[in-house]
């Protein structure tokens, strides 16, 4: 039997192909290829990508290049990924910020930079490695050996609330809620450009970018229905602090939707400007609230994660700039 999964995990599984083709956008002109690839393929480490380049598994217009090669807009890059190996995931004593835990679920406040589950170039140091250590292997097995306990995920550089399941019954119950989009997911973001309206809604299908399979795009032929509701908390000059409530859970949904209405998330060099004026470690996006029906009590539970320090610091900096 196949159980429903969050869309970002489904996209992950669909991605298991040997060749990835990317067309370089003009804004990345004269950027080193290893730096460029680590930006647009943030689930692979730069060291792993450099290894692929050295092994001539990265081709530009059909030719092998070196790591210091500078890309140009319009060039086609082919990345030949080895077949994924079903390796044993090692428990690691990595500190995790636990918001809540019981016999069925564990709710974590994920920090920036932590990859949720192992992938090529990130076999260790992930949330899964930490959970295996903390939970002594007591995690659901529905998503296989590389993703024990993982029923949904958030991007590496997105912070905030994520839930993992300790048994298959809990996994099935929460996965079903994800499938019907009944879970509460509220994010906070700092985006480019101020708003005239107080709130709004983006309703645009999301699918794989036609020229860059590591990116998503709106209104493409293979797109799936997606809806994001946003509320402006504070306009900050050329920026804005907003809250986003997800109706669906597509890969990179908030990042893609906000970029589509000319409000890309600050720090997101994939869907926004290639140069981040604040030199952040990825997008200023935080999963603040996660709510769902508990698999055992059958009562609604809701968990919150406070804004991380970097986010508060950026807000303070922007407020001071606006006030002069």
Catalytic residues: 155
Q: How many CA atoms lie within 13 A of 223 on its CB side?
A: 21
Question: Is the distance from CB of 290 to CB of 120 less than 8 angstroms?
Answer: no
Beta bridge partners of 70: 32
State the residue for tokens 């509701």.
229
CA distance 254 to 269: 14
CA distance 293 to 179: 13
Burial (Cβ within 10 Å: 0-12, 13-18, ≥19) of residue 69 = middle
| 3-class secondary structure per residue, 206-228 | EEECCCECCCEEECCCCCECCEE
Say how far residue 262 (Cα) sits from the centre of its chain.
20
Cβ neighbour number for residue 307 with a 10 Å cutoff: 17
Question: Is the distance from CB of 38 to CB of 184 less than 8 angstroms?
Answer: no
**Listed residue (214, 215, 246) closest to 229, CA to CA:** 246
State the residue for tokens 């530009």.
60
Say how far residue 10 (Cα) sits from the centre of its chain.
13
| Alpha helices per DSSP H over 123-233 | 127-134, 168-179
């Amino acid at each position: 039997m196949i159980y429903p999964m969050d869309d970002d995990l489904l996209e992950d599984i669909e991605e298991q192909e040997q060749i990835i083709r990317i067309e370089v956008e003009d804004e990345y002109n004269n950027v080193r290829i290893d730096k460029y690839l680590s930006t647009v393929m943030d689930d692979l480490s730069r060291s792993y990508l450099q290894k692929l380049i050295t092994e001539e598994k990265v081709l530009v217009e059909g030719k092998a290049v070196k790591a210091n090669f500078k890309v140009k807009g319009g060039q086609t890059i082919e990345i030949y990924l080895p077949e994924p190996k079903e390796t044993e995931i090692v428990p690691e004593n990595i500190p995790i910020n636990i918001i809540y835990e019981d016999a069925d679920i564990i709710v974590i406040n994920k920090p920036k930079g932590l990859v949720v589950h192992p992938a090529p170039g990130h076999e260790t140091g992930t949330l899964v490695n930490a959970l295996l250590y903390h939970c002594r292997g007591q995690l659901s097995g529905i998503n296989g050996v590389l993703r024990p306990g993982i029923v949904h995920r958030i991007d590496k550089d997105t912070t905030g609330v994520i839930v993992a399941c300790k048994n298959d019954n809990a996994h099935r119950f929460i996965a079903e809620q994800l499938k019907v989009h009944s879970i509460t997911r509220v994010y906070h973001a700092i985006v480019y450009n101020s708003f005239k309206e107080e709130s709004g809604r983006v309703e645009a299908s999301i699918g794989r970018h036609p020229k860059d399979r590591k990116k998503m795009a709106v209104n493409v032929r293979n797109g799936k229905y997606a809806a994001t509701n946003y509320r402006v908390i504070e306009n900050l000059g050329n920026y804005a602090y907003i809250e986003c409530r997800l109706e669906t859970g597509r890969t990179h949904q908030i990042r893609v939707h906000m970029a589509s209405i000319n409000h890309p998330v600050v720090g997101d060099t994939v869907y926004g400007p290639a140069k981040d004026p604040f030199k952040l470690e990825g997008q200023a996006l935080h999963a603040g609230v996660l709510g769902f029906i508990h698999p055992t009590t059958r009562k609604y539970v809701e968990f919150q994660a406070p804004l991380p320090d970097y986010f508060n610091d950026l807000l303070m900096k922007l407020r001071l700039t606006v006030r002069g």
